[in-house]
Amino acid sequence: MKRRTAVLLLAAVVAAGLLGGFASGWWSGGHETVAAAAAARLPDGVPEFFRNGGKHLAHFSGDPDRWKNREMTFLRRAEEGNHFLDLEDLDGKKYPATHRYDGLKMVYGELKKEPNKVGTLPYAIVEYYEKLTVGFYDHRKAPKDTSVPMKCLVYGGTLAHYTGDAAMPLHTTRDFDGRNQPDGTVKQKGIHAKVDGFPEKNKITPEEVCRGLEAKKIDNVWEHVNTFIAESHTHIAKCYEFDAAGALDKPTDESREFILGRVRAGAQLTLDLWYTAWLRSEKLPNHW
């Protein structure tokens, strides 16, 4: 079993045993909090069905982890790389700003690595942003078609999962669950589940996450998403510091504020991408 897959399955067991939930980049409650907080701050120009769809967006934000069900052998393997990007494994290169298949070609051909081990998170984010943009276009063209809001909520909720993953620093590094030592041991193994479960275990709510968030238009989505992931990567050391101090097991004001900040960052990215998708949909050419 691949190491990262094993950790995600362990998180699934922990989440199911303690909370009756689903395995998540954050636990299911953390992803739901990101989506609900972002929905609460959508401006009036965004369609009402979407602004009022926080409950549905929150539910759909859990779907990418449901797709990792161990019985779904095709779907699980296709999905697993979408949740992370181990920036160290790009060897200083950047993913092409074209499409997923150019990225896969780079990882296979130039880096001689497997994309599902390096991660494809930025592509997952931008692909679902574009799916939502297409859905919003359809709503503009056929505002009375009741099928369209359903797909917009699904796309928007799924997007919220990946943006939440991007805000979790351990989804940006090969040191996602401890650091390998020269003697072959792994120092601080188990940290991933501690950070994942923190928002839900410590009752970080959508109400406190959304305070002060304002939707902003993103000019270059691909660059913005990759810059966000790189910034998230800078918080890895802080995760390990809090864990070493025991502040993830027994939260302090500082550790709670740190994790709250990461959840807020995920909600802000989600909010901005939803808003940008709506604005972009106005000038989208006809599909056909």
Summarised one tens digit per residue, pLDDT across range 3-41 is: 454 444 334 333 333 333 333 456 777 899 999 999 999
Q: How far apart are CA 158 and CA 120, in angstroms?
A: 15
Q: Kindly state whether residue 246 falls inside one of the protein's structural domains.
A: yes
Instruction: Please give the pLDDT value at position 206.
Output: 96
Q: Kindly state whether residue 21 falls inside one of the protein's structural domains.
A: no
Q: Kindly report the CATH number assigned to the domain that includes residue 55.
A: 1.10.575
Closest CA to 68 of 82, 57, 58, 56: 82
Mean of pLDDT values over 106-134: 97
The H or E element spanning position 165 is helix 147-167
Q: Kindly state whether residue 9 falls inside one of the protein's structural domains.
A: no
Q: Kindly state whether residue 288 falls inside one of the protein's structural domains.
A: no
Name the pTM for this structure.
Answer: 0.90
Q: Kindly state whether residue 207 falls inside one of the protein's structural domains.
A: yes
Range of 96's domain?
A: 39-282
Number of domains in the chain: 1
